[in-house]
Amino acid sequence: MKILSILLAAVLLFPTGQIKKPVKYIALTFDDGPHPEYTPQILKILYEKGAAATFFVVGENAERYPELVRAEFDLGFEIGNHTFSHLRTNEKSAGALYDEIKKADGIISEITGEKPTLFRPPEGRHNNKTDEIIKKAGKKTVLWTIDTRDWAHTDKYKIIENIKNNVNNGSVILFHDYIVPPSPTPDVLREILPYLKERGYEFVTVTELLRHKADIGGVSSFFIG
Ligand SMILES: [Zn+2]
């Protein structure tokens, strides 16, 4: 009887369909593109699955394939800056970083009419000196919490396992749309997107994820403001 009354109370309190599960947020990010083969494939998969994402484009690739950056933008994806030439920043090259960010900004905004607010340093390399330069260039630095290592042609099943084992509310997953063929990424997305959706994850852009700061328990693991 006790169980029955608990059940009854549950039904009364939460009429069918109104039980609100807390939403979990996740940001899919794609670096180094656009790529003539993989970017359209990835866009199609994301669009069909209704998944938002953020593309950290390399300026010289954006210059080569402006129509793909335009497609990303027109489909509502967020575009971030990933330098002009994929400059691997260190103490020696820090001085060139400002110009690289500005040059990529110029190319992107010529295509979309908007300057990105987010920046991802190539290979995640940054230090106090480069953080200052990135800030001076008006950008916020976004790193990641899950590295798929897809660029190294990691086996797709290993990538899927890695995501399944490490994903949580507020994850930022690092993928690449520019990869020397063959890329495991489209196949990984086809499998992992429905899996995550079933488990209550909502795919958002990085900017949107930052807005949900409080719901995901902070952003210090992937964000330098
Ligand atoms: Zn990169």
Q: Tell me, yes or no, whether 10 lies in a domain.
A: no
Q: Tell me, yes or no, whether 213 lies in a domain.
A: yes
Q: 82 CA to middle of ligand 1, Å? A: 7
User: Could you tell me the CATH number of the domain that includes residue 182?
Assistant: 3.20.20.370
Model pLDDT, residue 6:
61
Model pLDDT, residue 9:
61
Model pLDDT, residue 183:
98
Interatomic CA distance for residues 151 and 181, integer angstroms: 9
Q: Tell me, yes or no, whether 12 lies in a domain.
A: no
Q: Tell me, yes or no, whether 13 lies in a domain.
A: no
Model pLDDT, residue 94:
78
Model pLDDT, residue 5:
66
Q: Tell me, yes or no, whether 218 lies in a domain.
A: yes
What domain count does the chain have? 1
Model pLDDT, residue 22:
79
Q: Tell me, yes or no, whether 9 lies in a domain.
A: no
Q: 190 CA to middle of ligand 1, Å? A: 22
- 176: annotated active-site residue: yes
Q: 176 CA to middle of ligand 1, Å? A: 7
Burial class (CB in 10 A: 0-12, 13-18, 19+), 70: middle
pLDDT in tens, the chain (225 residues): 566 666 566 555 555 555 667 789 999 999 999 999 999 999 999 999 999 999 999 999 999 999 999 999 999 999 999 999 999 877 667 789 999 999 999 999 999 999 999 999 999 999 999 999 999 999 999 999 999 999 999 999 999 999 999 999 999 999 999 999 999 999 999 999 999 999 999 999 999 999 999 999 999 999 997
Model pLDDT, residue 134:
95
What would the 3-class secondary structure string for 151-175 be?
Answer: HHCCCHHHHHHHHHHHCCCCEEEEE
Q: Is 124 left (phi over 0), alpha (psi -120 to 50) or beta?
A: left
User: 109, 115 in Cβ contact below 8 A?
Assistant: yes
Residue 142, beta-bridge partner list: 223
State the Cα torsion 26-32-36-37 to the nearest 10°.
Answer: -50
Marked catalytic residue, from 35, 82, 126, 176? 176
Domain that holds residue 63: 20-224
* Helical ranges in the chain per DSSP H: 2-13, 38-49, 59-64, 66-74, 94-112, 128-136, 156-166, 185-198, 206-211
Q: Tell me, yes or no, whether 130 lies in a domain.
A: yes
Q: Tell me, yes or no, whether 178 lies in a domain.
A: yes
Q: 31 CA to middle of ligand 1, Å? A: 5
